[in-house]
Structure 1
Amino acid sequence: MPAFVRRPLPQAVLAGLLLALAFPGGPGIWPLLAVALVPLIAVIRQESGRRAFLLGLATGLVHFLILLYWIVIVLGHYGGLPWYLAVPALVLLALYMALYVGGFAAGARLLLLALPAPAALWLLPALWVGLDWLRGWLFSGFPWMDPGYALAGMPAMIQTADLFGHHGLTYLLVLVNTLLALLLCEVRETGRKPLTLAGPVVAVLALAAVYSTVRWHQVERLMAGADRMTVGVVQGNIDQNLKWSPDNQEKTVNTYIAQTASLFAGGDGEGRPVLVVWPETALPFYPANSMFVEDLQRMNTRFDMALLTGAPWYEVIDAEEKDFDFYNSAMLLAPTGQLLDRYSKSHLVPFGEYVPLKPLFPFLAPLVEAVGDFSPGVIDKPMIWQRAKIGVLICFESIFPEIAAKWVQNGANVLVNLTNDAWYGKSSAPYHSLAMTILRSVETRRSTVRSANTGISGIIDPLGRPVLQSGLFVPWAAAGEVALLDGETPWMRGGRFFAPLCGLAAALAVAILAVRGRRQQME
């Protein structure tokens, strides 16, 4: 190996590249997840704490610049920002995300130096998972594509997510990386037999495989005996540049009605959907003010179906003062056209659906000017249609496990994700969004119906398998059966605390070792 490659910085950069290559939407070489962090973990032991942090920062920066490149598309093409502002915004976001990898590297170095290898082996994954959890919570959270999500395309490998969530998958991946790094370094330096370190890890992986196999068959039996409902999914493929144009509203509504009608072309057969789902803000107008609502009522009555669709909504606070609250909502309409229920998105996108500290960021106003600043809604009881109790995830709410968990705790037996991923263009982001939605199905053991304006739409079963799946930027409509499962998974009952407990354990260990090291230096 050339001397240059053996230097710390190239190894840190290599780790970032390997991570990025493993994720869906790009090369998607998921086996790289088992080795991607090995170069970083192997090199930080010989470095100071400061240099370890900087090396981790380099790994994270490379990884997130590649992973999040689509931010430039969102800000530039759709947000109207010039490239010389959009690119620095990407760099700043990637740098923020990379801080957590830097923190991991600094903490991991201390654990590796101060603890026996068998102890460090189990604490390094806990540290990574704890930092991932923190990133998903701090500043409203941005838990975009933690490593465990990259396994979403391999259903057989993600079944333990109903125990410890996607964080549990990440833990196992970092555990394997740590083991390999220690085998490269520890065995070479001390002569310790590989079985001492590898044996317990192999045992844990074997237990995970056995659990996954058993659980797979259990869930299949539950699905076979569950109530089922035929649901139609429509992907309008409406151009984002035309979506909010008043002149295009009639064409948009007619497009969705025509695609919905195609679901009923077979007559009164068994495959006839009783519920049809349209995407987030499929109605690009406020329903209370639009004449096109009558078209929806006629459609529902004609096909004897309920419609769940996204639409903006407003409530009057003070008419004289022109004070209104605006919402990004989902509406459930009965076959008669009656509004049965409405849910408004509770976790809004910062700088996408509202601008925090707007006086400090006036140049980001174009991102929300089409529909105005939204107010958050509240998660309450699921929407009910026939036997379905529906928990709605609007847009990037699907990347937050706790939102899906709250719906299920409130009684939901099916999840519906309405989204508009047209913002991302033909990038990797829609594949990322789908991967995270798949994990919500496995964690909660609920079917998920996903309707996206430009894709990727479909139906995901409680095992995380796509039953139906559309392409990107194509009009599409299909119907399929969803299993309506009840009950709570182990993850729901307590496994959700796995990630914060990992973070707490790792933070305590790092803090104790840091204090002990400081005292030894003073003595």
Structure 2
Amino acid sequence: MLFYPSAELSLSRGIGCSVFSFILLFVAMPGLVGGWPLLFIALIPVLYVCLYSAPRNSFLAGMIGGFVYHLATMYWIVIVLGQYGGLPVWISVPALMLLALYMGLYPALFCLLLSRLTGRFWHRERSIAPLVWAAPVLWVGLDYLRSVLFSGFPWLDIGYGLYLHPQLIQAADLGGHHLITFSLVLANGFILAIIDRQRKAVRWNVSMERRLLLYACAFLVFVFGYSYLRYEVVGAQATRALQAKIGLVQGNIDQSLKWSAEAKKRTVEKYISLSEELLKNKDTELIVWPETAVPFYLQNDPLADHVGNFVQRNNVWLLTGTPMYNITGPRQAQYFNAAVLINPSAHVAGTYSKRHLVPFGEYVPLKQVLPFLQPLVVNAGDFTAGDSAAPLSMGSVKPGVLICYESIFPDIARQSVAEGANILVNITNDAWYGRSSAPYQSLAMSVFRSVETKRSLVRAANTGVSGFIDPVGNVWEETAIFTDSAISMYVPVWEKKTVFNRSGWAFGLACFCGMVSVLIFYRNRE
């Protein structure tokens, strides 16, 4: 599909290249296929489009390719809205298409800006080196924008595609997952440049171009070389760190039944029964149950006694997800999606309230300003966001909690570690996704929270995927989805801070600022 046109690339051919590129990217990402080696070449066709198409055609090609990609990647939205949200197909399918259109705007903007800044639509022998470096800055800058705009939805940035190969991603403890994404886009651009430089008309004595391409090569060698060495060094150190025996339970509770009054007792008894299988050797310090594993208010429900008796009888700590409330006035209360740490004496030792709620799932944005949205509260829930990043404490072990999709936001884990967390615990209810690729995509993002902060992560999901992730990103004891599971493992309790913890978290922001600065300079130059 790659060739060197004598005229501007046609719109139809540009769209074809873009769609092909994003199909390769879909095949490379976690979930259905996971052909990760394609990440190093998948973007070459769409970069080629940006090189030889006018900005308007590049925008359309990127929009269509991005729409197709996100439609295929997030098909599980229909399951969430239809099967569990109770919405008819004629609403859930258009909702998926609208979300895919929104997500497709980002690759469309990427193609527009890259074509405008570095394309050859107006100069056939323009150097390709600016494209090689501008592409990763623009891509990551737009990824960062997507992570903060409209409360943020940074779902499955392309760096996450390497999650099964921790030897390649340790540089995330320098600049987060954005640095891995930057490197992959840079690698695609570098390979395109090598192909481009094979043309007979090219003069290799253009010193600036040669130097910029050598810098790109050196950058890639550093990132992946550092990752390999860091994996070996930290992996060995983690085995000598303090170890804590932690168990987790995957209850596999039917999402449509767990909230019914008659099912509450059966749910608690099932979690207790599965947990006691892990406690026969009396060496497990902490048991972790998933998000809302306790489907009632521990503050006033008689079933709370069953939970208290369990921890006292087994002399164990329990961290579980549960709803909580806080009375704020006459007939007024705040409700929280929370995690509660219960000590062996059956006293609450600490609570954490979810800080990043799901829009239209756990709250309705702007409902005070837009009264017509008020009826949605009945279906969506009306939770209040927590405001504390402080970890819970059980002696020398200080778990930082990530509830549900908080694990896709690097800054939430970083803030928890900054407050003193020495392990991370992700409790979630992935039953909403059904038997789809979403639980595996969510796991991929959780792996990077471990690598960025160099903290072990314990992941307890109602229906899976559950498991243990060590500080260098190895996934241990991974469970199958929709199965009853109870597993335990010694996990390293790590205290050291990484560059990401201190300042590397700002890498995505730096790319965004760099993108804006280049655009301002370019416009002023015109």
Q: TM-score range by the shorter chain?
A: over 0.9
For residues 503 and 128 of structure 2, the distance between their equivalents in structure 1, rounded to whole angstroms, comes to: 29
How far apart are 1:362 and its partner, in Å? 6.1
Amino acid at match of 1:484: V
Question: 1:379 maps to what in 2?
Answer: 388
**Of 16-25 and 324-333, the range deviating more from structure 2:** 16-25
How far apart are 1:512 and its partner, in Å? 2.1
Amino acid at match of 1:23: M
Question: 2:258 maps to what in 1?
Answer: 243
How far apart are 1:6 and its partner, in Å? 8.0
Matched, 1:40 2:46: yes
Question: 2:442 maps to what in 1?
Answer: 433
Question: 1:300 maps to what in 2?
Answer: 311
Contact 2:463/2:483 (8 A) holds in 1: yes
Question: 1:393 maps to what in 2?
Answer: 402
User: Which one of the candidate residues 154, 165, 185 is aligned to 1:143?
Assistant: 154
User: Which one of the candidate residues 459, 482, 500 is aligned to 2:491?
Assistant: 482
Question: 1:180 maps to what in 2?
Answer: 191
Where do residues 237-386 of structure 1 align in structure 2 (5 Å cutoff)? 237-265=252-280, 267-268=281-282, 272-319=283-330, 322-358=331-367, 359-361=371-373, 364-365=376-377, 367-368=379-380, 372-386=381-395
User: Which one of the candidate residues 222, 232, 235 is aligned to 2:247?
Assistant: 232
How far apart are 1:118 and its partner, in Å? 2.3
State TM-score, norm by structure 1: 0.93
For residues 195 and 13 of structure 2, the distance between their equivalents in structure 1, rounded to whole angstroms, comes to: 16
Cα gap change, 1:501 to 1:136, in 2 (>3 Å):
same
Amino acid at match of 1:151: L
For residues 49 and 24 of structure 1, the distance between their equivalents in structure 2, rounded to whole angstroms, comes to: 31
Query: Once superposed, what is the RMSD of the aligned Cα atoms?
Result: 2.0
Matched, 1:206 2:250: no
Structure 2 unaligned segments of length 5 or more: list them.
Answer: 4-9, 121-125
For residues 167 and 138 of structure 1, the distance between their equivalents in structure 2, rounded to whole angstroms, comes to: 17
User: Which one of the candidate residues 15, 20, 26 is aligned to 1:14?
Assistant: 20
- Alpha-carbon displacement from aligned partner over 1:150-200 (angstroms, at most 9, x marks no partner): 110111111111011100000011001112233334542742449766543
Where do residues 474-513 of structure 1 align in structure 2 (5 Å cutoff)? 474-513=483-522
State TM-score, norm by structure 2: 0.93
**Of 4-13 and 409-418, the range deviating more from structure 2:** 4-13
Cα gap change, 1:374 to 1:215, in 2 (>3 Å):
same
Cα gap change, 1:516 to 1:113, in 2 (>3 Å):
farther
Matched, 1:158 2:164: no
SS in 1 for 2:87: coil
Contact 2:2/2:45 (8 A) holds in 1: no
For residues 42 and 408 of structure 1, the distance between their equivalents in structure 2, rounded to whole angstroms, comes to: 41
Question: 2:233 maps to what in 1?
Answer: 218
Question: 1:520 maps to what in 2?
Answer: none
For residues 189 and 439 of structure 1, the distance between their equivalents in structure 2, rounded to whole angstroms, comes to: 43
User: Which one of the candidate residues 103, 108, 113 is aligned to 2:114?
Assistant: 108
Matched, 1:448 2:457: yes
For residues 192 and 142 of structure 1, the distance between their equivalents in structure 2, rounded to whole angstroms, comes to: 44
Contact 1:179/1:197 (8 A) holds in 2: no
- Alpha-carbon displacement from aligned partner over 1:2-50 (angstroms, at most 9, x marks no partner): 9999811111111121111111111111111111111111022332222
Identity percentage over the alignment? 44
For residues 170 and 515 of structure 1, the distance between their equivalents in structure 2, rounded to whole angstroms, comes to: 29
Cα gap change, 1:314 to 1:387, in 2 (>3 Å):
same
Question: 2:105 maps to what in 1?
Answer: 99
How far apart are 1:336 and its partner, in Å? 1.1
Contact 1:167/1:499 (8 A) holds in 2: yes
Contact 1:111/1:124 (8 A) holds in 2: no
**Of 216-225 and 85-94, the range deviating more from structure 2:** 216-225
Contact 1:228/1:481 (8 A) holds in 2: yes
Matched, 1:53 2:49: no
Question: 2:72 maps to what in 1?
Answer: 66
Q: How many residues align?
A: 508
Contact 1:457/1:470 (8 A) holds in 2: yes
Cα gap change, 1:465 to 1:377, in 2 (>3 Å):
same
Matched, 1:82 2:88: yes
Cα gap change, 1:192 to 1:441, in 2 (>3 Å):
farther
Cα gap change, 1:50 to 1:256, in 2 (>3 Å):
same
How far apart are 1:298 and its partner, in Å? 1.1
SS in 2 for 1:459: strand
How far apart are 1:300 and its partner, in Å? 0.5
**Of 471-480 and 38-47, the range deviating more from structure 2:** 38-47
Cα gap change, 1:427 to 1:204, in 2 (>3 Å):
same
Contact 2:129/2:193 (8 A) holds in 1: no
Contact 2:451/2:472 (8 A) holds in 1: yes
For residues 189 and 498 of structure 1, the distance between their equivalents in structure 2, rounded to whole angstroms, comes to: 38
Cα gap change, 1:297 to 1:259, in 2 (>3 Å):
same
How far apart are 1:224 and its partner, in Å? 2.7
Contact 2:129/2:212 (8 A) holds in 1: yes
Structure 1 unaligned segments of length 5 or more: list them.
Answer: 518-523
How far apart are 1:421 and its partner, in Å? 0.4
How far apart are 1:287 and its partner, in Å? 1.1
SS in 1 for 2:334: strand
SS in 1 for 2:119: helix
For residues 363 and 435 of structure 1, the distance between their equivalents in structure 2, rounded to whole angstroms, comes to: 35
Cα gap change, 1:317 to 1:366, in 2 (>3 Å):
closer
For residues 396 and 468 of structure 2, the distance between their equivalents in structure 1, rounded to whole angstroms, comes to: 17
SS in 1 for 2:519: helix
**Of 273-282 and 38-47, the range deviating more from structure 2:** 38-47
